[in-house]
Amino acid sequence: MLDIHDHGPVRELRLARPPANALNGALVTNLTSALRDAATEAEAIVVSAAGRMFCAGLDVPELLQLERSEFTGLWADFIALMRTIATSPVPVAFAMQGHAVAGGFLLALFADYRILPRGPFKAGLNEVQVGLIAPTPVHQALVRLVGPHRAERLLVSGELVAADRAHAIGLVDALADSPEDVLPAALDWCRLHLALPRHAMALSRRMARADLCAIFDDYDARENHAWIDLWFSESTRATLKKLAASLGK
């Protein structure tokens, strides 16, 4: 599910769960553990993926089979994964070589740097289209990235944004010329930052990202229950089952 490659001081964590690198409980747990290890063993991290799609988000067909208690544990782990990325003591870049949708892009919001290839690739949070909402930390991270009005438009519509527009509005930081160029560009970004006076860079980064880390300090656990209630609501389950059926065709 996860391949690990070291490029000198930069560790690459490559999602390897074909065909869509969808996030299930095991991948969430493995990625969180690998990020924590990398933060102590490497000087920067790149999250990448194998295949044509970066990540399709949560593995809806698999997660629909979970009982409420099981899903509650997974959702707590997913929130912890977001926080692990946000609070990483070393820079984290997301090298998204293909579509990054829902939970697949959601995680990238908490990284230092996001890159997509030019061309017919999209990124965004389409939770509303499948009967869900983005949790508060995601909303706040998106506002931090693109501003309140644009974040409102993106979240309420669930729009998936083409690569050129994603770059223009600040949803991603850069565009590579092709999917094959995404990882090298992300590694170059990491090395550029590691070449800076290390202590000054780390202190400046910590100061600049303090508001992002603080999002989770104020996160009310009661919201977890509200989100889980929505996941198990009759209308949302009906929408998700239709989605799961379409993915199985």
Segment 34-61 shows an average pLDDT of: 94
pLDDT tens track for 150-192: 999 999 998 899 999 999 999 999 999 999 999 999 999 999 9
pLDDT tens track for 5-26: 999 999 999 999 988 999 999 9
* Residue 248 confidence (pLDDT): 56
Set out the domains of the chain in order of their start, with CATH numbers.
2-247 (3.90.226.10)
pLDDT tens track for 77-86: 999 999 999 9
Least confident of 20-24, 196-200, 201-205, 241-245: 241-245
Q: Name which of 21, 41, 26 is nearest 104 in CA terms.
A: 21
**What is the enclosing helix (H) or strand (E) of 240?**
helix 234-247
Tokens of 1: 């599910």
pTM: 0.94
**Mean of per-residue pLDDT scores for the chain:** 92
Q: How far apart are CA 108 and CA 51, in angstroms?
A: 18
Note whether 247 and 60 are within 8 A (CB).
Answer: yes
Q: How far apart are CA 27 and CA 30, in angstroms?
A: 5
Q: How far apart are CA 234 and CA 82, in angstroms?
A: 27
* Residue 146 confidence (pLDDT): 95
Distance of CA 33 to the CA centre of its chain: 15
Which range, 73-77, 88-92, 154-158, is most confident?
A: 88-92
Identify which has the larger pLDDT, 219 or 235: 235
Q: How far apart are CA 46 and CA 220, in angstroms?
A: 30
Segment 37-56 shows an average pLDDT of: 95
Q: Which residues, 6 or more positions from 99, have their beta carbon under 8 angstroms from its beta carbon?
A: 53, 54, 56, 121, 122, 123, 160
Q: Which residues, 6 or more positions from 171, have their beta carbon under 8 angstroms from its beta carbon?
A: 114, 123, 124, 145, 146, 154, 161, 165
The answer to whether residue 136 scores a pLDDT higher than 70 is: yes
